[in-house]
Amino acid sequence: MQKIAIMGAMPEEVAPILEKLGSYKTTEYAGNKYYEASYKGIEVVVAYSKIGKVFSTLTATTMIEHFGCDRLLFSGVAGAVSPELKVGDLVVATKLSQHDLDITAFGHPYGFVPEGAVFVEADKDMIELSKKVASKMGKSVKEGIIATGDQFVANEERKNWILETFDASALEMEGGSVAVVCNALNVPFFILRSISDAADMDASFSFDEFLESSAIISAEFVMNMVDEI
């Protein structure tokens, strides 16, 4: 019996999903709220982790280990790294890295620690499925690398360094840790982000302005993915 985790980092990112579900059971666990529902005959668990790699690690692990989810989809917003991406554009993660993980003093590459890997690859089947959903919706979706770090990036210099170092299309603060959790627990995962800003000096203003609308764009797409799974 499959059970799908639908995750975000912020209330605004899961609100459109909860609205679509209508009714759900709320469980408080480990400092977070988990919303369970049956959606078109599929068991789903929805939660927002709170911001950053630690909170998202806790929530992803809880959804899998405590609630028994066997698949995880993430919906949220991100800063654009690729210059072609504009506010509202969708990015599907092909693989994810942690741009602030740094033991380069020992000669290791950025984002690497022993017995780890710079990149964690997302589930190929769900990436394929996203192409079908995108064409059904008449939307173009960019597949690309997402770089994750515990910082809201609001300057060109850091953004360009992330582009050069990880060849990232977008950046955010949870996907890379969710990827490590799902990979370690052998749970297929799909990470979708809608652009809210350009990770430049205007990022915080753009984020405030477009969080809600971009979160809705991402949530609509993720729910269409769930319909097809």
Ligand X SMILES: CCCCCCN(CO)Cc1c[nH]c2c(N)ncnc12
**In this complex, which beta carbon is closest to ligand X, that of residue 17 or of residue 37?**
17
**Residues within window 111-140 making contact with ligand X, judged by CB under 6 A:** none
Structure tokens at 193: 């982000």
Give the DSSP H or E segment for 162. Answer: helix 156-166
**In this complex, which beta carbon is closest to ligand X, that of residue 39 or of residue 79?**
79
Q: How far is the CB of 28 from ligand X (least distance, A)?
A: 23
72-111 footprint of ligand X as x/- string (CB under 6 A): ----xxxx--------------------------------
**In this complex, which beta carbon is closest to ligand X, that of residue 37 or of residue 171?**
171
Binder to ligand X among 20, 27, 50, 51 (CB under 6 A)? 51
**In this complex, which beta carbon is closest to ligand X, that of residue 24 or of residue 152?**
152
The 10 Å Cβ neighbour count of residue 128 is 9
196 binds ligand X (CB under 6 A): yes
Residue of this chain nearest to ligand X (CB atom): 79
Contacts of 68 (CB under 8 A, 6+ apart): 3
What are residue 36's DSSP bridge partners?
Answer: 25, 45
* Of the candidates 93, 95, 76, the residue with the CA atom closest to the CA atom of residue 194: 76
Stretch in the footprint of ligand X (CB under 6 A) among 62-70, 117-125, 128-136, 195-203: 195-203
Stretch in the footprint of ligand X (CB under 6 A) among 34-42, 58-66, 95-103, 166-174: 166-174
Binder to ligand X among 12, 89, 100, 197 (CB under 6 A)? 197
Q: Compute the distance between CA of residue 20 and CA of residue 70 in angstroms, rounded to an integer.
A: 21
Q: How far is the CB of 208 from ligand X (least distance, A)?
A: 8
- Note whether 187 and 64 are within 8 A (CB): yes
* DSSP-based three-state secondary structure for 221: helix
169 binds ligand X (CB under 6 A): no
Tell me the residue ranges of DSSP E strands in the chain: 3-8, 25-29, 32-39, 42-48, 71-80, 90-98, 120-121, 141-148, 168-172, 189-197
The number of residues making up the chain comes to 229
How many binding residues for ligand X (CB under 6 A)?
A: 17
197 is catalytic: yes
Catalytic entry in 12, 13, 123, 174: 13
Burial class (CB in 10 A: 0-12, 13-18, 19+), 42: middle
Q: Which residues belong to the active site?
A: 13, 197
Residue ranges binding ligand X (CB under 6 A): 9, 51, 76-79, 152-153, 171-174, 196-197, 199, 203, 207
